[in-house]
Every structure is written in structure tokens, then in C-alpha cells.
A and B are shown apart, each in its own frame.
Chain A
Amino acid sequence: AQSVTQPDIHITVSEGASLELRCNYSYGATPYLFWYVQSPGQGLQLLLKYFSGDTLVQGIKGFEAEFKRSQSSFNLRKPSVHWSDAAEYFCAVIGVTGTASKLTFGTGTRLQVTL
């Protein structure tokens, strides 16, 4: 069965500092990978996705993620964090032959940004 692990429950960074959120997945074949962000009181919004091609994926709000098959990882990065980035971040995976019904989410990483 596929699974997603986000090892960090909570991360605090200073505004302007760089950020890396970790995501490891377990899946027997080629995965589709997603990062979603949930701002306080709101639903989840897609940040970026990896389906195929270039393993470095650019998303909205200045975020990027790199797919590393050898490490089964899809870590999210941002060079300089803004206070408005404080939110909860979810990594998710499905197989290339799957549909959204098989999407598996990690348990999330809550990001706090200090000024």
C-alpha cells in the first residue's frame, strides 16, 4: 500500500530564512506527487505537482520541490520565507495509473514564521 511520511510535525523559521519541508513516500511504481497548503480557516490549495519530466518542479508563491526517486523523496523548498507562508503543508501521492480516489496524504507539517 502506498504511504506518505512527513517527519516534521511542526517547523519554525524566521522571516527571510530558507525553508525545506520533507516528504518521503512509499509506492511500488512511478508516483504522481503533490504539495498542498492549508492556510488558517481555509481549504487546501495546490502548490505544485510532479507528474513526469524535469524532477525540479516550480509552483506558486515561490515554492519548488525536487523529486528524488533514489531517496523516495519530494521535499518542498523556498529560498526566503514570508510571514504569509505560515500554514500547514501536506504532501500527497498517487500512482500514475491511479485516480484521485487513491490519493494518500501525509499527516502535514505546520509552519510557523517568526518576524
Chain B
Amino acid sequence: EAQVTQNPRYLITVTGKKLTVTCSQNMNHEYMSWYRQDPGLGLRQIYYSMNVEVTDKGDVPEGYKVSRKEKRNFPLILESPSPNQTSLYFCASSSLGGSGANVLTFGAGSRLTVL
């Protein structure tokens, strides 16, 4: 089954404790992206990647890092989490060509709470 898998789905952590949210897709998509969803603000893009070793900032990149060493994986790293990073996070991927171009497939979401 074509899917985007995120882990963990739920996480409670404390300020300053580094954490990584993993994202993996099995569709051979070139494009991958991270969003955060907050009430009243919709989805805001954090970082995106057009292909392996190519990443770029989205609208709200502060406090986050990403890497794209393999095509299927795109982890989101919070080096020193703060309470304002408490949010629901989504990973998404798409192809950049063909009939599925620019149609995002989303993971199920990771709910992060920073105390």
C-alpha cells in the first residue's frame, strides 16, 4: 500500500530535549515536506525537499532541522524543543512529474507536546 509513515504518532517531551520525528514514503516520490497544523492557522510549511540532498526552508523553519540522505526518508529534528513547538505535525510527499504531480500524500500526523 502506498503510504507515508510517521513516527512517533504521539510524544510528550520537555523543553530542550532533542527529538526526531521520522517520515518514510514508499512511492519513490521526489518531493517531501513537513507541515505543522495549529488551530486557526491551517497548515504551515516548515521545510521541504525536492530530492536527495536538496532541502529548503518553508514558511516557519525556525527551531527545526531536516535532512534528506535517502529518497524515502525525511526526518524532522527539533534540536532544543520549546513549548511554542507544541503542535500537530504532518509529513507529505508527491511526485514532481506524471499524473500525480503535485498531489500530496500525507502521513497520519504526529502530535507533539513540549512541556
Contact = CB atoms under 8 A, between A and B. Distances in A.
Interface string A79-107: 00000000000100010001111010111
B88 to A, nearest CB: 10
Interface stretch (B14-22, B67-75, B78-86, B99-107): B99-107
A62 to B, nearest CB: 20
Say what secondary structure dominates the interface of chain A: mixed
Given A32-B102, A100-B104, A101-B50, A43 B42 contact: no
Contacts of B58: 101
A106 B44 CA distance: 10
Contacts, number: 60
B42 A107 contact: yes
Contacts of B92: 43-44, 100
B109 A42 contact: yes
Contacts of B96: 99-100
Interface residues of A, number: 22
A106 B4 CA distance: 22
B25 interface: no
Contact of A46 (B33, B40, B48, B104): B104
A43 B4 contact: yes
Contacts of B33: 100-101
Nearest to A96: B102
B62 interface: no
Interface of B: 4, 31, 33, 40-43, 45, 48, 50, 56, 58, 90, 92, 94, 96, 101-104, 106-109
Interface of A: 9, 32, 34, 36, 41-46, 49, 90, 94, 98-101, 103, 105-108
